[in-house]
Structure 1
């Protein structure tokens, strides 16, 4: 499998504060499944934001789909982002669109003819158990239902990479298992999957998944040690 993502000594700092992420280096293989773990505040969401190009790093190199994502021209960003499915913690559904239309949105953006939308959208509605809520607006959905709409929207276009931030945090255990199976099925079709979670019960559900663990903004190896030694820091 080829590399789909490469981070080299990446650091991220918001404003003038301390670094949120420091000396992050790793490689993601095309078609692999990864769990990103770590305590609250460890930097999981910040790392995912770098992966789906919502944030540029303060330093270091990020290569995505074989190209330097840090230097990517602004006019090419939309095309790159369409290759990545994202499940946000806060869902980010379009409030005036129905469940059906929120799920169909990526296909419409990609230019799929209206006549071809019905089958994939209705299949996805059935998979996430929302067929009866197809015409509902986000404001009338429960948190768990909104989460399922967000997941369906993220995966319907079969992205090359799926990035999910706590995707099972608002659903019951049975639905969490079902959604994880959806991610696994998508992965078997060739999509690279990165799931950030603090739910340790999920980590053994995908036997082939690889673990990435963050601690206070640094990547750890499986033994719990720093995977890469920190760079020298200047004293304040």
Structure 2
């Protein structure tokens, strides 16, 4: 796809294998433009989660080039990677909430880690919890929340700091269709503020909710179709 200005992410011939096994991702090349919205689709086992792990810097590739924010991250020392990770919001498929913290404190965690004064934390956290329909569960522990409620807390935590890139792995998998649409609108709102959004999903109906979504399709660890409009290309 053509870049609108400087790409926020560039993958060039990236491959990934775990140990001595065969590659789970092969010859992956694409760019992500600033402020665009992308869907990543593909069958279970196609490599979506592995590709997302590369995007949020939890995994280094076995080969190839990854550039992010104008920086070659393959040659960047590991001790400098956390500063780049803080610019990326992540919604994990397994939520990864801190079990001993309330829903409020889980959502507030990124703001506190960034050094924001406590007086400036309560309002944005309350607002985002209200938006995802959990203002009445602010003091609840993760163990007392349903799967869908945990998912919404995880999403609120990922977007609270207005990250430059948002990476979401099946973010609507544990919510009903109405809440799925509401969460998609939240991602859209964040995208309009300039965040590059990448949503991995099995739910192709989500693609119909956006006017002209950009889509990457993974098949057996390779990109079968990249950067195309959902309505312009086949499934």
Which residue does the alignment assign to 1:64?
68
Alpha-carbon distance between aligned partners in 1 of 2:97 and 2:202, rounded to the nearest angstrom = 23
Match of 2:55 among 19, 42, 51: 51
Tell me the alpha carbon deviations over residues 14-63 of structure 1, each in whole angstroms, 9 at most, x when there is no partner: 11111000000000000000000000000000000000000000000000
RMSD of Structure 2 on Structure 1 (CA)? 1.2
The match for 1:20 is: 24
Q: Which of 126, 131, 143 matches 2:130?
A: 126
Offset from partner CA, 1:104-160 (integer Å, 9 cap, x none):
000001110000101100000100000110000101100000000000000000000
CA contact (8 A) 1:161 1:193 kept: yes
Q: CA shift at 1:70, angstroms?
A: 1.4
- CA distance in structure 2 between the aligned counterparts of 1:147 and 1:69, rounded to whole angstroms: 30
Q: Where does structure 1 differ by over 3 angstroms across 4 or more consecutive aligned residues? A: none
Matched, 1:33 2:37: yes
Deviation at 1:69, TM superposition (A): 1.1
Give distance in 2, aligned partners of 1:13 and 1:79: 25
Distance 2:210 2:108 in 1: 28
Pair 1:83 & 2:94 matched: no
Q: 2:204 aligned to 179, 200, 203, which one? A: 200
- Other structure's SS at 1:39 match: coil
Taking structure 2 as the reference length, what is the TM-score of the superposition?
Answer: 0.94
In the comparison of the two structures, how many residue pairs are matched?
Answer: 225
Q: Which runs of 5+ in 1 are unaligned?
A: 225-236
Aligned residue for 2:143?
139
Q: Which 5+ residue runs of structure 2 have no aligned equivalent? A: none
> What is the TM-score of this pair, normalised by structure 1?
0.93
Is 1:116 aligned to 2:159, yes or no? no
